[in-house]
Each structure stands twice: as structure tokens, then as C-alpha cells.
Amino acid sequence: MSHPPLPSWRDGQTRTALLRFVEELTTPGEHFLEPPDRIAVFDNDGTLWPERPMPIQVYYLTERWRQMVRSDPSLADREPYASAASGDPAWIASVVEDHYAGDDTRLPALAEAVIATQRDLDTDTVAAMVREFFRTGQHPVLRRPYRTCAYQPMLELLAYLRENGFATVIASGGGRDFMRVVAHSMYGVSPEQVIGSTADTRWCADRRSVVYGDGIRVLDDGPEKPARIWNRLGRRPVLACGNSNGDIEMLTYAASAPRGLAVLIHHDDGTRDDPPYDAGAERALAEASRHAWLTASVKDDWARVFPDAS
């Protein structure tokens, strides 16, 4: 006996609109799309897993900075190492908050420290460290393993789209190689379908490996998102899901397709989710209202937020 699709989405306009969208594009008729044109793109932080009070990748980086201070105590005299060593992430969190608000004054210091966590390491070594982080780590606020922090309604949407011939792609401001490690186990998304911010890399013949370099090549946010989606896929997505100002261009790109749909996740539930917030999403919420994008309320549209922990 088959179960109704999207069981963690409450009955209402949002769930109905999602089901209708998929039905129209997969049923022969006026709006039918062939499977190769059924492309759905998803932001990650705040869309597929929590981003407040800090994105999960920042918790991983904080652990790395703490390890680096133990190896080189002189690092403890500057940020973000000082915050990592003290166990008080306030400075780190404030830089992330400022970025969401459009102020990147302190971002270069944070970016240099991000580069330092993997400089001259090969990709296999970094992937193993990320894998261990997810194997053993627990979210300090949600008190659940990081690997169970994906939003259950979004997991169901990803699976439902794939069942109906859609390619599901992640296009996030987070680190591409960080997400690649867990994209398949958490979301069912293969590593080659992950687009994100990328660091410089080079081939090291002596080590027979690809090694990380000294810079960040692309910060995949804002107008970079649609450009990189096109560069990677060669197709315009017909569905995009995001949650913040950095997703506006990607949402616009999908909504501008002849049969396109943009979905904005609104974090307005203060009891089951990370803290409710509009900060960093004010312009996106205004654009959603102005263009009649589909806005999914965590409070009203999600019957549950997280999967059962195993």
C-alpha cells in the first residue's frame, strides 16, 4: 500500500502547490517536461539543514581551529582562533551574522583561517576529517548528531522529486567539498551534483593527489549561484529552494523559467527549529511577496522538522 507523498508537510496551500507542480510537469500535456529538463536546485544552510546560530560547517571549522591552537599556541592571540580556543564562538557567529546582513568587513580574517584548516592537505585527508566529524559530532544547540540534522520535510521533497524524474542539485554558499562528503548519505544527492564555494587546488605529482592551496576560488552566493548552476549543468532549473537573501538570484533564475517555481523556506518556528529569524532573509521575504513565490512556513507547513535520530 503506497503512502501519501510529503507526509511531514501539513495539508495546505504549500503542500498542494508542490504536488501540483510535480504533477503538471510529469503528466503529458501543456506543462509536461522531459526528464532531462526537470532540474531542481537547493540551497543547503537554512534550507536543507540548520544555519543558526551557526552553519554546521562553522562548527567543524571551530573544532579544527581549536586543534590548530593546541599545535601552535601562538595562534590563540588572534581571531577566530581565540574564540575557538576559549569555547566562546561569539566572534565567529557575529562575523557570520554580519555576512548575512551584507557586512563583510571581517570576512577576510575568517576566510584566511578557513584556508589554513586545509592548506597543503590533500582532498582525501580533508574528506576523512569531515567524515569523522559527522560520525562522532553532535549539534551543540539541537543536541542531536550532526548526521540527523537534515530537515525531514526537505528530505521528503528531495526523494519525491527524484521519484518523478527530477535531478536534485545542491547550490550552496557552503564549502562544496565539505558538503560532498555527506550529500549522498544525508540527502541522496551524489557528490557531482553539489555546487558550492570552492578553494584553490593543485595537482601534486609527488603525492599523486589533489592538494588544497592558498585561496578561495569562488564564494558561491548571490549572483554567483545562477552563473555556477549554468556553468555546471548547462540548463536552467525549473525549481529552486532557498531561505535567505543570498538565494534571491537563484530563486529568480528558476522562477523565470516558463514553468518555474521558487520556494522560500521561512524560519518562523521558535519551538522546534533553530531560533526563528528573518535577519538575513528580509529582502528574500520581500521578493517572495512581490513575485508570489511559494513561501514555506516552518511553523505552519512542517508537521515535524527533523527525522527520528537513530
pLDDT at 90: 86
Residues 61 and 29 in one domain: no
Q: What is the pLDDT of residues 13-27, one digit of tens each?
A: 999 999 999 999 999
Domain assignment of residue 143, yes or no: no
- CB–CB of 281/243 below 8 Å? yes
| 229 Cβ contact partners less than 8 Å away, ≥ 6 residues apart | 41, 169, 171, 195, 237, 250, 253
Task: For residue 192, give the CATH number of its domain.
Answer: 3.40.50.1000
Residues 155 and 120 in one domain: no
Residues 124 and 163 in one domain: no
Residues in the chain with pLDDT < 70?
A: 1-2, 274, 309-310
Residues 132 and 87 in one domain: yes
Residues 178 and 272 in one domain: yes
Q: What is the pLDDT of residues 48-69, one digit of tens each?
A: 999 998 999 999 999 999 999 9
Residues 76 and 129 in one domain: yes
pLDDT at 38: 98
pLDDT at 107: 86
pLDDT at 1: 52
Measured CA to CA, the distance from residue 78 to residue 82 in angstroms comes to: 6
Domain assignment of residue 3, yes or no: no
Tell me how many domains the chain contains: 2
Q: Which domain holds residue 110?
A: 56-136
pTM of the model: 0.95
